[in-house]
Chain A
Amino acid sequence: MSQTAAAARYVGQSVKRLEDPRLVTGHGRYVDDIVLPGMLHAAFGRSDLARAAITRLDTSAAEALDGVHAVCTGADLNSHNDSLRASLYPPESPAPPANMLADGDVRFVGDPYVMVVAESRYIAEDALDLVEVEFEPLVPVVDYETAAESDHHVHPELGGNLAHDLPVPNPATDEAFADAAHIITETWHQHRQTNVPMETRGIVASWQPHAGVMEVWASTQSPHELQLVGARVLGIGEHKMVVHFGDVGGGFGQKMFLGREDMAVLVVAKLLGSPVKWIEDRRENLLASNHARIEQMSVKMAVGEDGSFLAADLDQLEDDGAYPLGGPATPGAMATMLFPGPYRMGPVSWRARTVYTNTCGRGAYRGPWQMESVAREQMIDRVAREIGMDPLELRRRNVLTPEDLPYQVSTGLHFETTISPEQTLEQAAEMIGYDEFRAEQADARKEGRYLGLGMALYIEPTSMGMGPLGTESAMLRVEVDGHVNVFMGTGSHGQSLETTIAQLVADELGVRPGDVTLHQGHGSGYGFGTGGSRSAVIAGSAARAAASGVRDKVVAIAAHLMEASADDLEVADGVISVKGTPAASMTLAQVAATAYQNSDALPPGTEAGLEHTARYKAPPSTHSNACHICTCELDPGTGKVTLLRYVVSEDCGVLINPMVVDGQIAGGVVQGIGGVLYEHAVYDESGNPLASTFLDYLVPTAAEVPELQTGHVVVPSDTPGGHKGTGEGGAIGAPPAVFNAVADALAPFGVYPNRQPLDPNTVLSLIASASN
């Protein structure tokens, strides 16, 4: 059966992933699988104290150990690097000092103060045991709520703990508050969590003297960030920084930017002239990679008699830890700006502050600003309870409907007509069987059983187009044998880009996905990498444009060779044929062979070869939206919460591969479930981390998560493929949905949770507080 090439044959299909045959058989190539001749292994000695002066550091015994090549301290290394900042931030951005290793004092538990490079990891760790060090403890700044006022400074160089303070007053709110029927306030807290990719961070760096080339393999989401920042740290040209990209075992934001350890490994590999490998262990990953979500937002909302949202006043405070990964980011400013979400919210005023503490640095974690949805959706359920209205009804009254679009949000955001919050709200409510559940819940309460339902509706800015995030390129080349190689600046680490990009190219060019191979890392054109739900729209559009450019040429050449009119040709499955006359055809390989090896046969004026490079510039943002609803049962005897059902209705525009989209949603949802119910990177009041193994940092297992149902509303975006990003959303919607479900189950006790985690201990003490 013949189809026209332009028809989507593969986009929209759950094409089986091209990466899977190697990955399911153990033949992936992750960074720890890289072995080079003479390769040495690095290990870091880390502080056990949150804040302390180093009064003695003697590395001589460690240096003397057989097999040890170098023992480095901050004094040895730090002068080799002028900044820890990511390429995203301008040099003048405020930042902690550029200490790859602690120098003179340590600033959080896990702060590296010594680095050993040895013949094996075992020997490197033996040597760490021989490093003699003495500390004089200092008063640590652990509580971020009081950090700004503390006389003790995390970074004495900066003269204070306040990293950012952004007040955005809005006088229009005063009036709204003055007139409001209800004014409701609450401070919502998120607790410390961490990304936990199953593959920890890691890097192999190999310096080639005389060539002046640093060759690097790393577990990264952004090979070009590594190239740019690595070159800056090493003081070499970017072209001398060769970054190989292999399989990457997850990141969720953690591997977007270089860690201090990555930088130290690069510097040491150059100094030693031997390849150096560092593979982070799990304890290091839990204590010293990055933490996230440590924040609170105070919300004051003005609500009308009929439940309409009139205004909001927000105060956001977040903890940056000691060395925020990539530099001090300000998701809080984003969170406050995005707070109105999918509702008519009225005027909003806000303030966003960030402070340093003697804890592990903050870093990006899937939906870094999702505090906006957490605070808003939890607040809406609270408002519903306060004013005695059903939470679904309250959302229905305020949600943006198609008639409201396009919509200018008071905080500066602009929503195009291609969002569909109301549709996803209704679809999710139908999927969960909202009214039936409420009836079931009422019956259960009569039997002393506590069921709860929580929902969350949100709009997620995806594929943001500003600054370095704005573009991606695709260099596409049909090889002599007709196979298609695409070189891109992405860093797929689970997002299935080898498959989805191949699907896009396959449709555009008229080949099969298996005829397309994606190459990332060295040789690709600059791109920001994979993160921020940006690859489908930005990288995808670049790939599509590159394929389209090549297709035009393929058709022109084939028309010439076949003596047919270009308009009469179609390209499918790598065959160019005359429409309606399939016998009159030639293969893409034949066209390619002509283009490279018999260029005299090309149409006059046609450039030899079959390749095209395209770069896509994204609009300021596309917006995905979704509604999550889940139900739970709470055991009042043990405080345990069991999730019963979980539905997601989402709109990510045109789906490239539904299986992949559902997989992204599911992964994010379970991270959100983990965050609310299980995971807690907790410190004691002296700044000692208490969750340093997988027995204490509780990543959910299959037994803790319910079956997930997804529904899709498809309103195409205005970008070339009609896609919107989808990577982060699950982790944005799930926390407030789960939180609201538990709060709903607790409602009969008359208690109002306002902080996570809602672990059994917390739930039981909430119930106890009610009975007291």
Chain B
Amino acid sequence: MADQIPLSMTVNGQTRRGLGEPRLTLADFLREQANCTGVHLGCEHGVCGSCTVLMDGEAVRSCLLFAVQADGADITTVEGLAPDDETLHPVQEAFRDCHGLQCGFCTPGFVVSVAAFLETNPDPSDDEIRHGIAGNLCRCTGYQGIVAATRQAAATMKGSRQS
């Protein structure tokens, strides 16, 4: 077995240290050593988007990164988006309001992706939304609620930016 490498990164604002073989993926590190079981694995080959997290602010597939590559990085997972235990992030709130989830398995990846998408596209058209979220697969909702949630979250986030 390859040597275990010490790892350290900021996860949702906290320093997380751990050990892992070089081949340990960031997703497995987050799930197993950083208590972020909201990072879901739907394919482990980069297509479904369930494992999406923010690395230094950018949405990435955590199944396609090795944990060592994120050493020293700042990671935000779905667990880290809400400001506190009572309040939801506007994207999370919108997913709930618009029935953007059923089984919830794809949801963490969608929520993180939509939050990142709206950072760079604060005022998307429906077509931009549909293509913008096409990197995440959902098998339950038929995307109707997800598109509506993205629309709602865009409006809320724009509102709060302006105020």
Do A670 and B142 have beta carbons less than 8 Å apart? yes
Chain B nearest CB, measured from A194 CB (Å): 11
Residue B64 at the A interface, CB < 8 A? Answer: no
A489 CB, min distance to chain B CBs, angstroms? 19
CB distance from B43 to the nearest CB of A (A): 4
Choose among A19, A660, A662, A703 the residue that contacts B144 (Cβ–Cβ < 8 A).
A662
Chain B nearest CB from A677 CB (Å) reads 14
Contact flags B113-135 to A (C-beta < 8 A → 1, else 0): 00000000000001001110111
Instruction: Give A699's nearest chain B residue, CB to CB.
Output: B137
| Any A CB within 8 A of the CB of B88 | yes
* Residue B45, interface by CB 8 Å: yes
Partner of B147, one of A664, A667, A702: A702
Are A693's CB and B45's CB within 8 A? yes
Of B101, B103, B129, B144, which contacts A708 at CB under 8 A? B144
Asked if residues A21 and B88 are in contact (CB atoms below 8 Å), the reply is yes
Which of A27-35, A377-385, A415-423 binds B?
Answer: A27-35
Q: Of B50, B97, B144, B147, which is in contact with the most chain A CB atoms at under 10 Å from its CB?
A: B144
Task: Say whether A249 contacts B104, CB under 8 Å.
Answer: yes
- Separation of A67 and B2 alpha carbons in the complex (Å): 13
Q: Report the interface size for chain A: residues with CB under 8 A from the other chain.
A: 60
Q: Does B67 contact A (CB under 8 A)?
A: no
Q: A21-B88, A25-B88 are in contact. Are A197 and B47 (CB under 8 A)?
A: no
B139 touches A26 (CB 8 A): no
- Residue in contact with B139 in the complex, picked from A20, A24, A252, A495, CB distance below 8 Å: A252
Decide: A250 near B41, CB < 8 A? Known: A196-B139, A666-B142: no
In the complex, which residue of chain B has the Cβ closest to the Cβ of A673?
B142
Inter-chain contact A663/B144, CB cutoff 8 Å: yes
Bound-complex Cα distance A33 to B31 (A): 8
Task: A17 to B104: give the CA distance in the assembly, Å.
Answer: 11
Q: Does B145 contact A (CB under 8 A)?
A: yes
Are B140 and A694 in contact, CB atoms less than 8 angstroms apart?
Answer: no
CB-contact partner of A26 in B32, B37, B48, B141, under 8 A: B37
A496 within 8 A of B: yes
Cβ–Cβ contact B105 & A26, under 8 A: no
**Which residues of chain A have C-beta atoms less than 8 A from B99's C-beta?**
14, 17, 659-660, 662-663
CA distance A472 to B60 in the complex (A): 44
B39 within 8 A of A: yes
Q: Which of A67, A247, A659, A730 contacts B103 (CB 8 A)?
A: A247
Q: Are B42 and A282 in contact (CB under 8 A)?
A: yes
Residues of B within 8 Å of A694, CB to CB, are 43, 45, 47-48, 137
The segment from B3-11, B77-85, B155-163 found at the interface with A is B77-85
A691-721 at interface with B (beta carbon < 8 Å): 693-695, 699, 701-703, 705, 707-708
Name the residue of chain A whose CB is nearest to the CB of B111. A24
* In the complex, residue of chain A having the shortest beta-carbon distance to the beta carbon of B48: A694
Contact, CB under 8 Å: B96 / A702: no
Interface contact A198-B137, CB-CB below 8 Å: yes
Chain B residue with minimal CB distance to A67? B1
List residues of chain A with CB within 8 A of the CB of B102. 250, 494-496, 663-664, 667
Question: What chain B residues lie within 8 Å of A437 (beta carbons)?
Answer: none
Closest to A279 in B: B41
Interchain CB contact under 8 A, A282 and B43 = yes
The answer, yes or no, to whether A66 is at the interface (CB within 8 Å) is yes
**Among candidates A26, A281, A664, residue contacting B79 with C-beta atoms closer than 8 Å:** A26
Interface centre among B23, B44, B50, B146 (most CB of A within 10 A): B44
CB distance from A535 to the nearest CB of B (A): 13
Identity of the chain A residue whose Cβ is nearest the Cβ of B78 in the assembled complex: A26
Contacting pair A26 B142 (CB below 8 A): no
Q: Measured between alpha carbons, how far is A29 from B77 in the docked complex, in Å?
A: 16
Are B133 and A199 in contact, CB atoms less than 8 angstroms apart? no
Is there an interface contact between B40 and A16, defined as CB atoms closer than 8 Å? Answer: no
Chain B residue numbers with a CB within 8 Å of A668 are: 142
Quote the shortest CB–CB distance from A28 to chain B (angstroms): 5
Residues of A within 8 A of B139 (CB): 196-198, 250, 252, 667, 671, 699
Do A703 and B130 touch (CB < 8 A)?
yes
- Does any Cβ of A come within 8 Å of B154's Cβ? no
Q: Are A27 and B38 in contact (CB under 8 A)?
A: yes
Among the listed A16, A122, A199, A666, which residue makes an inter-chain contact with B141, where contact means beta carbons less than 8 Å apart?
A666
Contacts of A249 in B (CB 8 A): 40, 103-106
Is A23's beta carbon under 8 Å from chain B? yes
- Are the C-beta atoms of A25 and B44 separated by less than 8 Å? no
Q: Mark A647-691, 1 if CB is under 8 A from B, else 0.
A: 000000000000110111111111100000000000000000000
Which of these, A24, A281, A708, contacts B92 with CB under 8 Å?
A24
Cross-chain contact B47 with A20 (CB below 8 angstroms): no
Q: Bound complex: CA of A248 vs CA of B147, how far in Å?
A: 23
A703→B134 contact, CB < 8 A: yes
B residues with CB within 8 A of A: 1, 21, 23-24, 31-32, 36-45, 47-48, 50, 77-79, 81-82, 88, 92, 95-97, 99, 101-108, 111, 126, 129-131, 133-147
Complex A-B, nearest 10 residue pairs according to Cβ-Cβ distance, in ascending order: A26-B38, A249-B105, A23-B104, A666-B142, A494-B103, A494-B102, A670-B142, A694-B47, A26-B78, A701-B134
Supply 8 A–B pairs (Cβ within 8 Å), ascending by A: A16-B96, A24-B88, A24-B111, A25-B88, A249-B106, A252-B139, A701-B130, A701-B135
Besides A662-B144, A694-B45, A703-B134, 11 new A-B residue pairs in contact (Cβ under 8 A), listed by A number:
A24-B88, A25-B78, A26-B77, A198-B105, A198-B140, A250-B102, A250-B105, A665-B142, A695-B45, A702-B143, A705-B142
